[in-house]
Amino acid sequence: MNEIQTLMQSLGLPASAYSEGTLKVRSPIDGAALGAVHEASAAEMQAAVGRAHAAHLSWRNVPAPRRGELVRLFGEELRLHKQDLARLVSLEAGKVTSEGEGEVQEMIDICDFAVGLSRQLHGLTIASERPGHRMMEQWLPLGVVGIISAFNFPVAVWAWNSALALVCGNSCVWKPSEKTPLTALATQALFDKALARFEGAPAHLSQVLNGGAAVGEALVDDHRVALVSATGSTRMGRAVAPKVAARFGRCLLELGGNNAIIVSPSADLELAVRGILFGAYGTAGQRCTTTRRVIIHESIHDELVARLDRARAQLKIGSPIEAGTLIGPLIDPAAFDAMQKALAAAREQGGEVSGGERALAAQYPNAWYATPALVRMPAQTAVVKQETFAPILYTLKYKSLDEAIALQNDVPQGLSSAIFTNDLREAELFVSAAGSDCGIANVNIGTSGAEIGGAFGGEKETGGGRESGSDAWRAYMRRATNTVNYSSALPLAQGVKFDI
């Protein structure tokens, strides 16, 4: 029995679930075949949405704290199977071991958050201008939540959405990336284990359907899907959002990022180097929160760039399941090609490129590893303003903090940002209304690795959505304002008279 068979058996999946389909799955580690899963049709997606709608009609009547109990049980299953699911994430998505484990831990954490949330789905009591009346606000279950996830976080982003959606009284239909279907199937199997331990839940609360664009389009177009939460490229968001808007549905978009770190003269450079390195090169640069630009004060620019270049060259590239590896593979050859095109454009636009070559080609001829690239740019040119999902870090100089903030904000995306400074005034300006225009603005930490307690998302071409913590749960509910008249009179608001 090979490793995939062992993992899938432990996670509760029969061999037929991952070996008898037409969607071929290969590991980015070495190009080896991992399985073949069933590709759903548009008709199958429509049938799944129908089942999810029926499940919601029942689930919405279950008290929210009881709904939280199901999510708690799912969190228990994740704890029991953390190592196996994390290993599968590494094999299928190419993440290094600690990042695969961190992703499953993120799932566990959001389950814990959602369980607590299930007792805090509160509204308001509002003073009424009419005697003998009470006005209040409720948050009520929304309906079917469609979840479209990307390869780089193949399970955590689903958990962010589904854990909140379920405690809010909704059902979920998941269309994962075609590049990571096995982790989705395994996650669904663990959810089914939790469901089997829970009394009174309807069937089909959570469903996963693998497939290509036609399956995603069927999910997006179905009027029974109240909310579409889509994570991916800005191009994908431009296709999804108008379709959902045309039927007056809701969209929660988590799209591209082009994240910058500003490093001021007062910064702790040791701290900055560490934050920049993980931000730029962790997950082989394949995070929406990856640090793609570092904007450095001219007085420390050369010193910091030299330190970054030395550290970059020491990062261990290799199989993500080997101890000590920090940089794993790009997901596929198209990602490597996109990286090479971006580096060629950077050279044409005056950039000085270090690194960026293909690595380990002799050892892994069917995989796509690349050395991390550091690109010294004379200005924020067109290529710097584009998001390339690869380990490329552009460096820029600035003179004044106002100039640095303007550079940071002068890109179409608005997800994550950071400043390294020991100057309180600089830090406060950066997080003020006159500072970063991103959904995430950090001080003395990098752009990547957000905690689940805060709302996650960004502005501009990032899509404006918010997931995970804080009050992101409200996206999964509908708001109702209620007025109760407990008097024997019927006064109208604003003093309007309509007496017979």
Residues belonging to the active site:
254, 288
Q: Which residue has the tokens 């995970």?
A: 468
**258 in Cβ contact with 293 (< 8 Å):** yes
CB 241 within 8 A of CB 248: no
Q: In angstroms, what is the C-alpha Rg of the chain? A: 24
Q: Which two tokens stand for residue 139?
A: 């948050």
Alpha-carbon dihedral 381, 383, 387, 388, rounded to 10 degrees:
-150
Query: Do residues 166 and 114 make contact, with C-beta atoms less than 8 angstroms apart?
Result: yes
Query: How many angstroms separate the CA atoms of 344 and 153, rounded?
Result: 28
Query: Do 249 and 165 touch, CB atoms closer than 8 A?
Result: no
